[in-house]
Amino acid sequence: MPAPTYAQSVFVNCPFDSDYAALFDAIIFTVHDCGFVARCALEIDDGAQVRIDKIFELIQKCKYGIHDISRTEPDPISGLPRFNMPLELGIFLSARRFGSGRQRQKVCLVLDKERYRYQQFCSDIAGQDIWAHDGDIQKAVKVVRDWLRNATANSNIVIPGGGRIFERYELFLSELPQLCQNLNLDQDDLIFNDFSTLVVGWLEANPW
């Protein structure tokens, strides 16, 4: 299988908590079904590497970035909000602004629950491509698909519609338990690398 190029790599900067898992999985599936490769900080498990260095390295390798800044609620345990998503969005935008060569070609999609809510807590990002998913999986699939389609508008690449991708995602989910069972995986405890390998293998077996 060919390795992804810079122009085919999408850095996914989203919450990793269980409340967001359904949206996260749908976004990963959509990115791959559109022919891109999802990269995220969860894929590297090298204890010797400083976490921020992992993030720098991933961002450097990705032309595209999907940044979900919807998680503004305080953590139930600490009572404090998490700032990782806005931080990584800032790094991505900085790479585009201060980087050289292909880093300046970076394109990003910012997601939130409501389209203009960011103006109340992160107004400096006005002017970016900001869309709302309303916490709805089908809408998230469509937004990500349409954004990737627009990003490749001048190419000869065909990408199926958001409704078609969502249908395929539902089919994938319906077959995921059997897939996990046959491969001796625990569906409730899938790590990112296993999940994305399942997505890629399933897509290869089920071309549209």
Binding-site ranges for other proteins (CB under 8 A): 1-4, 8, 32, 34-37, 39, 43, 45, 156-159, 175, 178-179, 182-183, 185, 191, 193-194, 196-198, 200-208
User: In this complex, which beta carbon is closest to other proteins, that of residue 21 or of residue 203?
Assistant: 203
Closest among 5, 14, 15, 3 to 108, alpha carbons compared: 14
Helix extents (H) in 4-110: 21-33, 51-61, 84-98
User: In this complex, which beta carbon is closest to other proteins, that of residue 21 or of residue 185?
Assistant: 185
Taking the complex as a whole, the smallest distance from the CB of residue 123 to other proteins amounts, in Å, to: 36
Query: What's the one-letter identity of residue 174?
Result: S
User: In this complex, which beta carbon is closest to other proteins, that of residue 119 or of residue 178?
Assistant: 178
Taking the complex as a whole, the smallest distance from the CB of residue 87 to other proteins amounts, in Å, to: 24
Q: Taking a C-beta distance cutoff of 8 angstroms, is the pair 65, 11 a contact?
A: yes
How many whole angstroms separate alpha carbon 38 and alpha carbon 64? 10
Closest among 161, 142, 176 to 27, alpha carbons compared: 142
Taking the complex as a whole, the smallest distance from the CB of residue 178 to other proteins amounts, in Å, to: 5
Query: What's the one-letter identity of residue 85?
Result: M
Q: What is the DSSP letter of 114?
A: S
Taking the complex as a whole, the smallest distance from the CB of residue 48 to other proteins amounts, in Å, to: 14
Taking the complex as a whole, the smallest distance from the CB of residue 126 to other proteins amounts, in Å, to: 32
User: In this complex, which beta carbon is closest to other proteins, that of residue 36 or of residue 118?
Assistant: 36
User: In this complex, which beta carbon is closest to other proteins, that of residue 34 or of residue 137?
Assistant: 34
The alpha carbons of the chain give a radius of gyration, in whole angstroms, of 17
How many whole angstroms separate alpha carbon 82 and alpha carbon 87? 10
